[in-house]
Amino acid sequence: MDFILNKKNSQREQWTSKLGFILAAAGSAVGLGNLWGFAYRSSQGGGAAFVILYILIVLIVCLPVFVAEMALGRNAISSSLIAPVKLGGKNWYPLGILFFIAPLGIASYYSVIMGWTADTFFHSLFFGLPKDLSEAENFFGSISSGSSVLLGHLLSLVLTAVVVSSGIKKGIEKVTRFFMPILFFILLLLAIWATSLSGAWEGYKTFLLKFELSQLANPQTIRNAFTQAFFSLSLGIGVMVTYASYLSKKSNLPKLSFGVALLDTLVGLMAGLITFPIVLTFGLSETISESTVGALFISIPTGLGAYGIAGRLVAVAFFALAYIAAITSSVSLLEVPVSSLMDKFGFKRGKSVCIITIILFLAGIPSALNLNILGIFDSIFGGVFLILGGFLVSFFMGWVVPGKLNEELNVSKVGTKTTRYLIFMTKWISPPIIGFGLVISIFDLIKGWMS
Ligand code: TRP
């Protein structure tokens, strides 16, 4: 019996080390959401109120959810489709299904945006930047329609599939270990460069200091802050469940989640310190505050276009950075349904990757061809579903199987104070606050559709 158990456990891959996990999880968290989502959500009028709300949500709500997700995955030692059933019984299968469908929904349009990113990168590299706003809009129009968008979508999916099919250690961990340091380095260089812009101070002020109390009660700002917090940390749809299922029992879950959340938030803030100076220096506030999904792809190249060869270099670095950040995130989105198929049907990794990649290509076609559909996918799968998932995970670990949460904290020798704090938060604080955020978000979303 023992032998069989051991054999089973040794068949499941594990990260080579804690750092391997941190880089992979941070790689999942740091993505287009930090660069594109942060800029576009914070410029929808929330200003500093948005940033404050976002940070509060991360600290108070998301950290306990993060630990709860990891505890679920590590305790069940299975993919996110099966984990809720394993711990809580058949009634919780719908949660597993949510964890299967939501990452598919996000991944389907995420690769479309990756395609735009790659296109802008190559264009900046080989042809240069647009001369003015209308040229930039034309350019964005051309990359976000027709066959080039489908090609970008397909190639990004294939690239992601190649990494995921190589497995946890040789695929995801290896790629994130290689790329994450490069990403931090480029980010730092760009943030330093941005201080030299004439509108730098104006940018920081708009981003961090323009505080209006009333914004804290604005439903749109609240929805944006919740969405951004969950999306940016890759929470609510089973990514951390899946990643933690490859984690050793020795690792301290609260410490790991704190490390990942800190890295992710720093990257989000630093990205703001790059994009806002560019936007204000070149008078592009209007373009970005229209907050179409393409804002970043129009305003950044336009702004940098006025800066000659230096601007072009910066654009190349920025879009390379964005693509690197995106690939380490999209692999996490693919890993969730892939590992679920492997667990549920006993498929080989390669077969699961093929099936899911084909589904994603087809599911992404509407978003590729129509920006409105992409926006709808983003607000449902990348918004409401994450908040719903976060709510259910907290409720599940806090009320349905609290013993398992306790067990996971004890087994890695987390201090009693931290354990008590996390259990208290998971039971009493996260569910009502996320529930509140969910209701406001649903109303705000529907209101937006009606108007
Ligand atoms: N967090 C990533 C970003 O900021 C996107 C992402 C990857 C994601 N996996 C996720 C978002 C899971 C929500 C859930 O771009």
CB 66 within 8 A of CB 28: no
Ligand 1 centroid from CA 233, angstroms: 6
Among 268-277, 279-288, 334-343, top mean pLDDT goes to 334-343
Distance CA 364, CA 271 (A): 27
Whether the CB of 68 sits within 6 Å of ligand 1: no
Distance CA 251, CA 130 (A): 49
pTM of the prediction? 0.94
Q: How far is CA 283 from the centre of its chain?
A: 29
* DSSP 8-state class, residue 412: T
State which of 35, 99, 234 you would mutate to test the pocket of ligand 1, scoring each by most atoms of that ligand within 8 A of its C-beta: 234
Whether the CB of 386 sits within 6 Å of ligand 1: yes
Ligand 1 centroid from CA 387, angstroms: 13
Distance CA 285, CA 400 (A): 47
pLDDT 10s digits, 140-199: 888 888 889 999 999 999 999 999 999 999 999 999 999 999 999 999 999 999 999 999
Distance CA 351, CA 273 (A): 42
Domain span at residue 35 reads 2-450
Whether 264 has a pLDDT exceeding 90, the answer reads yes
Structurally, the chain folds into a number of domains equal to 1
Whether 332 has a pLDDT exceeding 70, the answer reads yes
Distance CA 2, CA 349 (A): 26
Distance CA 40, CA 4 (A): 52
Ligand 1 centroid from CA 132, angstroms: 32
**Residue 332 corresponds to which tokens in the numbers above?**
């996490």
* Closest residue by Cα to residue 98 from 311, 395, 386: 386
User: 298 falls in which pLDDT band (50, 70, 90)?
Assistant: confident
pLDDT 10s digits, 379-403: 999 999 999 999 999 999 999 999 9
First to last CA, the chain: 62
Whether 287 has a pLDDT exceeding 70, the answer reads no
Distance CA 289, CA 263 (A): 27
Percent of the chain with pLDDT strictly greater than 90: 76
CA dihedral sign, ordered 129, 130, 131, 133: negative
For residues 33-61, give the mean pLDDT.
87
Question: What is the radius of gyration, based on Cα positions, of the chain?
Answer: 21
**Residue reference for tokens 């093929």:** 354
Whether the CB of 298 sits within 6 Å of ligand 1: no
Distance CA 318, CA 137 (A): 19
Percent of the chain with pLDDT strictly greater than 70: 95
* Closest residue by Cα to residue 257 from 269, 232, 240, 245: 240
For residues 103-112, give the mean pLDDT.
98
Whether 40 has a pLDDT exceeding 80, the answer reads no
Whether the CB of 35 sits within 6 Å of ligand 1: no
* DSSP 8-state class, residue 384: I
Atom of ligand 1 nearest to the CA of 235: 14
Whether the CB of 50 sits within 6 Å of ligand 1: no
* DSSP 8-state class, residue 136: H
User: Range with the lowest mean pLDDT among 70-74, 295-299, 349-353, 440-444?
Assistant: 295-299
Whether the CB of 106 sits within 6 Å of ligand 1: yes
Ligand 1 centroid from CA 224, angstroms: 15
User: Range with the lowest mean pLDDT among 97-101, 208-212, 337-341, 368-372?
Assistant: 208-212
DSSP per residue, 263-317: HHHHHHHHHHHHHHHHHHHTT-HHHHHT--TTHHHHHHHHHHHTTHHHHHHHHHH
For residues 329-337, give the mean pLDDT.
98
Protein residue whose Cα sits closest to atom 10 of ligand 1: 234
Q: pLDDT at position 209, please?
A: 80
* DSSP 8-state class, residue 78: S
User: Range with the lowest mean pLDDT among 301-315, 359-373, 414-428?
Assistant: 301-315
**Residue 135 corresponds to which tokens in the numbers above?**
């040229």
Instruction: Look over the chain and give the mean of its residue pLDDT values, rounded to a whole number.
Output: 92
The dihedrals phi and psi of 237, each to the nearest 5 degrees, come to: -130, 20
In CATH, what number is assigned to the domain containing residue 329? 1.20.1740.10
User: 293 falls in which pLDDT band (50, 70, 90)?
Assistant: low
